[in-house]
């Protein structure tokens, strides 16, 4: 399921070059992932009740175009694939339909009591495309 979050670039997100600082794009993508979890009913407390938390272990982000104060951005998040204990979310940021950033984010499911990886809970796993037999 693809989830979108609309935001407006604020003055505090601008760097000395007059555009959005690169680190803010990482934060925007995090906001998008949190929106994805929340809209699926998988907020932090719910995951914790399932004996799971998720941790980002890899980010591959392409910063394609600069953004400026006042720009209206759309952060889109969707499930790409999953393994036994990890999964990948795809994300893109658009401004007026133009791609300004995109990436793939890999997360691992951790048992909060042991800090060890654990299988992706069924309630989360069901949102990912079925693996094709090879």
pLDDT tens for 30-51 read: 999 999 999 999 999 999 999 9
Residue 111, domain member (yes or no): yes
Going 36 to 40 to 41 to 47, the CA torsion angle's sign is negative
pLDDT, mean over the chain: 95
What is the C-alpha separation between 37 and 47, in angstroms, rounded?
9
Residue 115, domain member (yes or no): yes
CATH of the domain at 50: 3.10.129.10
Residue 86, domain member (yes or no): yes
What is the C-alpha separation between 46 and 55, in angstroms, rounded?
15
Per-residue pLDDT, 134:
54
Residue 76, domain member (yes or no): yes
Number of domains in the chain: 1
pTM metric for this prediction? 0.94
Q: Which of 15, 45, 71, 111 is catalytic?
A: 15
Residue 33, domain member (yes or no): yes
Going 42 to 48 to 51 to 54, the CA torsion angle's sign is positive
How confident is the model over 102-118, as pLDDT tens digits? Answer: 999 999 999 999 999 99
* Domain assignment of residue 96, given as a range: 3-125
What is the C-alpha separation between 9 and 71, in angstroms, rounded?
5
pLDDT tens for the chain, 134 residues long, are 899 999 999 999 999 999 999 999 999 999 999 999 999 999 999 999 999 999 999 999 999 999 999 999 999 999 999 999 999 999 999 999 999 999 999 999 999 999 999 999 999 999 998 766 55
Residue 131, domain member (yes or no): no
Residue 130, domain member (yes or no): no
The region that residue 8 occupies, defined by phi over 0 for left and psi between -120 and 50 for alpha, beta otherwise, is beta
The region that residue 60 occupies, defined by phi over 0 for left and psi between -120 and 50 for alpha, beta otherwise, is beta
Catalytic: 15?
yes
Residue 40, domain member (yes or no): yes
């Amino acid at each position: 399921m693809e989830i979108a979050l609309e935001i407006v670039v604020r003055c505090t997100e601008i760097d000395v070059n007059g555009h959005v600082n690169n680190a803010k794009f990482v934060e925007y993508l995090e906001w998008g992932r949190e929106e994805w979890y929340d809209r699926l009913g998988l907020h932090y407390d719910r995951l914790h009740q399932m004996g799971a938390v998720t941790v980002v272990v890899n980010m591959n982000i392409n910063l394609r175009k600069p953004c400026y104060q006042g720009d209206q951005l759309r952060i889109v998040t969707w499930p790409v694939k999953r393994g036994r204990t990890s999964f990948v979310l795809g994300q893109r940021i658009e401004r007026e339909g133009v791609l300004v950033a995109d990436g793939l984010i890999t997360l691992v499911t951790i048992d909060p009591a042991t800090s060890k990886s654990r299988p992706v809970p069924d309630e989360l796993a069901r949102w990912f495309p079925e693996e094709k037999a090879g």
